[in-house]
Amino acid sequence: MYSKIIVAVDVAAIEKAERIVPRAVQLRREGGKILLVGVVEDLPGYVLAEVPASISLDARRDAEAKLDELRKRHGLDAEMEVRQGAPARELLAAAAEHKADLIILASHRPDLSNYFLGATADRVVRHAQCSVLVDR
């Protein structure tokens, strides 16, 4: 059992989080904590020039709202955190900062460029300093 579990939530594919949250609950040690982490990716500079300045703030608010809805639907007493940047890098940073002993994330169906795991899952698995559970 694990005492600090990071659940990586892709707010654009919340249905995947619906599958992994119950797993986190099952694997949590009594008295353990779950942290739902969503990552808002940075937009390239050439895109930022064409979109409203508030788009990044709106994306963060949307991510926070979706994480909160997910938490309430599952009756979780979990912390939430929305980070900004590259998903794999931010998930690994969150795990290190919170001293997580497990990261749970869902992987999409990969294409030939990342045949076995999705790109984010692949990077997290390769670089995590704790256990990683990838749901397919």
- The alpha helices in 4-128, defined as continuous H runs, are 14-27, 45-48, 55-73, 87-97, 119-127
pTM of the model: 0.88
Residue pair 7/34 in contact (Cβ under 8 Å)? The answer is yes
Torsion sign, CA atoms 56, 57, 62, 67: positive
Which residue ranges form the domains of the chain, and what is each CATH number? 2-135 (3.40.50.620)
Using one digit for the tens of pLDDT, what is the confidence trace for 85-102? Answer: 999 999 999 999 999 999
pLDDT number for residue 56: 81
